[in-house]
Amino acid sequence: DSGVTQTPKHLITATGQRVTLRCSPRSGDLSVYWYQQSLDQGLQFLIQYYNGEERAKGNILERFSAQQFPDLHSELNLSSLELGDSALYFCASSVSGSMQTQYFGPGTRLLVL
């Protein structure tokens, strides 16, 4: 158990819908990262937040957005969902915003029908 929690574990929804994925980092970690794992794209970095502020952005679609709250938990919002958004979404956390070991949560499996 990494100490990073993600909810829900599974999510099934329809095209065009909007969902919110939630992540709680390890106690004491200030940085949260979101990754998407799909069969065709592999594991890809989406976005990083550090202590409530966006720190780095990767291949995140404009339909996707994230935020980190004062209690340091983070949410990833996916809207106007398409079939191709079906994937495993991981959250990871690290102590600081500089290069540190990232500890991954169990992931949220999203299926868009």
Partner 1 sequence: AQSVTQPDIHITVSEGASLELRCNYSYGATPYLFWYVQSPGQGLQLLLKYFSGDTLVQGIKGFEAEFKRSQSSFNLRKPSVHWSDAAEYFCAVGARGNEKLTFGTGTRLTIIP
Residues engaged in binding partner 1 (CB under 8 A): 2, 4, 31, 33, 35, 42-45, 48, 55-56, 58, 90, 92, 94, 97-107
- As measured in angstroms, the least distance from the Cβ of 16 to partner 1 is 28
CB of 58 to partner 1, least distance (A): 6
Q: Which is nearer to partner 1, 40 or 62 (CB)?
A: 40
Give the nearest distance from C-beta 80 to partner 1 in angstroms: 25
Query: Closest by alpha carbon to 36, among 113, 112, 110?
Result: 110
In one letter, which amino acid is 72? Answer: L
Vertex 78: Cα angle to 107 and 7 (nearest 5)? 30
Q: Which is nearer to partner 1, 7 or 17 (CB)?
A: 7
The strand ranges marked E within the chain are 5-7, 10-13, 19-24, 31-38, 42-50, 53-57, 64-68, 74-78, 87-94, 103-104, 108-112
Closer CB to partner 1, residue 4 or residue 81? 4
Cis peptide leading into 106, omega within 30 of 0? no
Q: Closest separation between CB of residue 22 and partner 1, Å?
A: 15
